Amino acid sequence: MEIKSETLMSAWKSALRHIIDSGRDFTDENNRICREVLNLLIEIKPPHNDISSAISLLNSFNKWIYPSTEEIADLIISRKMSPTYSYSYGPRIFNFCSSVNQIDDFIIPLLRKSPFSRRAIITIWNPHEDSKVYKREVPGLISIYFKITKKKLNATMSVRSNDIFFGWPANIYQLFVLSEYVSKKLNCEIGSLTTFSNSAHLFKDQFEDIKQVLKE
Amino acid sequence: MKQTEHDILMLFKKSPGKELSTSEIIANIFPKECQSINDAISNLFNDREKIYAAKQKKAQLHRNVLYYLNSLVNDDILKISRQGNRGEKYFALALEGKDEIIINKSGKKIILSKPTVKSMPIDGYEHGIASRFESPTWIDKINSILLETHGFRDINEISTTVLRCLADVNDAIALNDFEHAIHENEIPDLILFLKDISRECSDSGKTLSLIIDATNLEKEKTQKITDFLQEFCAMKPSAISIIFDIRSKELSENIDFFEKATKIFIKSNTKMYIKNQDLYSAPYFLGKAGPYCFDEKEWLIYKKNIQKNSIGLACSQATIAVDVNRFFSKNNDISSFRNFIKNTIKSLFYANSMQRRNSEDYFKNIVKLSHPNVMDFFRLSRNYVRFWNYGWKEPNLNQNYVIDLIKSTKEEVDSFCLSEETIYKSCGMPTRFKVAFSCLFKESGLGFSKELFNRIEIKRLEELYSKEFKELFSVKEEIVQAFNGGDRARLFRIGKISPSDICREFNIILKTFKIPFFCYDFGEHHGADLKLTSFIR
């Protein structure tokens, strides 16, 4: 299924409606009932003026505390790894296996040298650490692919397990923040932002809140 | 400006809200020197001269740093915030009435600014209704930890580790399976350990629990445990408690040992703490704030998969105490209570968020100790909401109503915690956020309303079978159900007592009541012949 939209809000709401209407229910490892669709693609086109609007909406609920945009951005940009987290995206992007800066030492020089390259991919998933049967705290985000077309930087994020209600607004914002970092270095504009979710799901115990969001 | 003075100022600049003891300051600015001094002092193979030289070096460092600290106090840059029992001074920035202090000396300029404290959702309530436990160190120290005795070489290593961890903890440390340490170390070394830790705990106002798992008792070695208990009770260290983690089976099988042990505790009027392992296998321990425990299901997973190679666990990260009686004397509706608890939980969440981001800074010793498995150290950690005077009554309300209210509020709290974990995990920040409810001890010294519950007194074994006692304990059982963070029943044993009677009473309580943790207080057993009184007025 592909959802393509000019605005983030309409893309998000379409995705939420699509899962509610077409998803299949299952019970996950934590005994929570999920509704899921497989292989959902959501693409939003520039200029991304409303990129943090879903976060703002989730922040307006008194029921929970949603992380701030600073905290969400920090997670993908910061190279510092807090010892109390089992993983963090920033260190895996900028210091993979304590040795590879995938953005500054690969993506940027590669796209500078070959703007049409199809090799501009970074990986978050580390089989040495994550491909273990009993390990449960593993990244949801798997890889990010950059491609320049019509002098614009397009980015696609691949997510293995994606809570479209709580997670996707943060994920797309992180993709925007990272794309902004790369595009500034490449001196080009940001094009489309796409997420590809292997398991796009919603938790059934959040349906009331989701309906509330859909009404907004 | 001398280097030491500069280093002290930079230390406070980094953590402007912190209160630091002289030892902590020295450890921060002279880490290598402190390490070598501690190693020399705790090295059993060192001769007396080497130990003496190390102690002299330690005293020299103290004098040197104190010189600069006192001079900063005279300059009104630092203040002495308090003094420990052993006379150790604690320092904090003297920022009262100022937003910042600018120091301009020898071409160096240092600006010390007030800490940016995020306002918390409970701030509006804090007038004797809600209180952060150990407010000055509420965020930058962890509440309580449990260390696994088997993770350390010997009692010296345990001692050094506990002393280091005390700097990162603001309430309690427990040593699990301490019977191993008793079995494997000499009594004089154990006495020395008790003396050192007791002094340090008293000075810093923290507690240590030694958990003796009776399922690990080896018959031929029980005499050594008895000898240790004898020494412990003779010393009666106020900040250290011994907790017997037992099942009725082991109590019966080792009755001679338990009778001897009970005799020692009775003779010295020392409180005896019993944990019922049949009901709850996760350890219980004590802090000033109240009892601490782990979630039973999570503990069993830890025990099966991790404990063997573990050095220990964080039990509680932060605590907020709530005076239920005072809350309802000012607010009379249930929804405002639920809202109040929700704001309390949100405050704990913000506190945890800061702790996560700054863990290397705040819990330096713990991070170092558990490296590279820091994540595992925090695997079972929770936060505590502790209730004071929760037996509050209105003419139209009863105790069960209050318990039901606490239980239903807990369900809402659990749902909030689950949402936060889902949100943060789905955003790419796998975060643990759990909250436990428990009671608050009077010893916490939070200045809440006068206690409204009476004590439980028993004078003879038969009373345990009385209707009155059964009713009393059925209320307590309900409270235990509501308090997933642990509860303690304290029984004052009065009148004539014999060790065999007490052991029989333990057995009855272990077998009859669903009370996982109780304490026998022998402090007034020579007192008047009082009757059983009710638990809650």
The model's pLDDT over B99-129, given as tens digits with 9 standing for 90+, comes to: 677 777 776 777 777 655 567 788 777 678 9
Q: From the list A64, A82, A174, which residue is nearest B357 (CB)? A: A82
Q: From the list A66, A83, A170, which residue is nearest B428 (CB)? A: A170
Whether B428 and A63 lie within 8 Å, measured CB to CB: no
pLDDT of residue B498 exceeding 60, the answer is yes
Which of residues 9 through 48 in chain A touch B, CB cutoff 8 A? Answer: none
pLDDT at site A127:
95
pLDDT at site B359:
83
pLDDT at site A134:
80
pLDDT at site B409:
93
Range in B80-84, B380-384, B507-511 the model is least confident about:
B80-84
Q: Name the percent of chain B lying above pLDDT 90.
A: 46
Instruction: Find the CATH number of the domain harbouring A132.
Output: 3.30.572.10
pLDDT at site B397:
53
Q: From the list A63, A75, A206, which residue is nearest B429 (CB)? A: A75
C-alpha to C-alpha distance for B243 and B284, rounded to whole angstroms: 8
pLDDT at site B537:
31
Q: From the list A84, A88, A163, which residue is nearest B378 (CB)? A: A84
Task: Tell whether B43 is within 8 A of chain A (Cβ).
Answer: no
**Residue A205 to chain B, least CA–CA distance (Å):** 10
pLDDT at site A140:
94
Q: What is the mean pLDDT of residues B508-518?
A: 94
B474 burial class (0-12, 13-18, 19+ CB within 10 angstroms)?
exposed
Q: Find out whether the peptide bond into B372 is cis, omega within 30 degrees of 0.
A: yes
Question: What global pTM score does this model have?
Answer: 0.81
A183 burial class (0-12, 13-18, 19+ CB within 10 angstroms)?
buried
pLDDT at site A201:
97
Q: Which residues of B touch A124 (CB under 8 A)?
A: none
Question: What would the pLDDT profile of B349-369 be if each residue is shown by its tens digit?
Answer: 999 988 887 888 888 888 888
Q: In DSSP terms, which residues pair with B437 in a beta bridge?
A: B385
pLDDT of residue B530 exceeding 50, the answer is no
Domain B3-113 has CATH 1.10.10: yes
Element (DSSP H or E) covering residue A47: none
Compute CA distances B48 → B37, B59, B160, B195, whole Å: 14, 16, 19, 19
Which amino acid would we find at residue A193?
L
Q: What is the mean pLDDT of residues B412-435?
A: 91
Alpha helices of chain A — where are they, by DSSP H?
Answer: 8-22, 53-59, 69-77, 89-94, 108-113, 127-130, 168-186, 207-215
pLDDT at site B534:
33
**Best to test chain B binding among A61, A62, A76, A85 (most B CBs inside 10 Å):** A85
Q: Which residues of B touch A206 (CB under 8 A)?
A: 419
- B189's CB contacts (< 8 A; 6+ apart) are B154, B155, B156
**Residue B320 to chain A, least CA–CA distance (Å):** 19
Average pLDDT in chain B: 87
pLDDT at site B536:
35
Helix, strand, coil proportions of chain B in percent (round to 5)? 50, 20, 30
Residue listed under structure tokens 């260190």:
A91
Task: Tell whether B13 is within 8 A of chain A (Cβ).
Answer: no
Q: Which residues of A touch B355 (CB under 8 A)?
A: 84
pLDDT at site B525:
55
Residue with more model confidence, B18 or A176 = A176
Whether A82 and B423 lie within 8 Å, measured CB to CB: no
**Residue B358 to chain A, least CA–CA distance (Å):** 8
Q: Interior CA angle at B299 toward B297 and B302, to 5°?
A: 115
Range in B119-128, B217-226, B400-409, B517-526 the model is least confident about:
B119-128
- Are the C-beta atoms of B517 and B489 separated by less than 8 Å? yes
Which amino acid would we find at residue A168?
W
pLDDT at site B274:
97
pLDDT of residue B158 exceeding 70, the answer is yes
**Residue B311 to chain A, least CA–CA distance (Å):** 16
- Classify the phi-psi angles of A163: left when phi > 0, otherwise alpha if psi is within -120 to 50, otherwise beta: beta
- How do strand A141-149 and strand A152-163 relate by DSSP bridges? antiparallel
Look at residue A64 and give its three-state secondary structure. coil
Which of residues 309 through 348 in chain B touch A, CB cutoff 8 A? Answer: 346
Q: Identify the band that residue B445 occupies on the pLDDT scale cut at 50, 70 and 90.
A: confident
Q: Which residues of B touch A92 (CB under 8 A)?
A: none
Phi, psi of B55, deg, nearest 5 = -65, -40
pLDDT of residue B300 exceeding 90, the answer is yes
Residue with more model confidence, B236 or A81 = B236
pLDDT at site B126:
65
Q: Containing domain of residue A31, as a range? A: 2-215
Q: Which residues of A touch B359 (CB under 8 A)?
A: 82-84
Q: From the list B359, B378, B427, which residue is nearest A67 (CB)? A: B427
pLDDT of residue B527 exceeding 60, the answer is no
Q: What is the mean pLDDT of residues B465-469?
A: 87
Q: What is the mean pLDDT of residues B470-479?
A: 85
Q: What is the mean pLDDT of residues B243-268?
A: 94
Chain A residue with CA closest to B418: the answer is A64
pLDDT of residue B31 exceeding 90, the answer is no
**Residue A124 to chain B, least CA–CA distance (Å):** 11
Q: Which residues of A touch B416 (CB under 8 A)?
A: 63-64
Q: Which residues of B touch A75 (CB under 8 A)?
A: 427-429
**Best to test chain A binding among B429, B433, B434, B435 (most A CBs inside 10 Å):** B429
**List of chain A residues with pLDDT < 70:** none
pLDDT at site B117:
56
Which of residues 430 through 449 in chain B touch A, CB cutoff 8 A? Answer: 430-431
Q: Name the percent of chain B lying above pLDDT 70.
A: 92
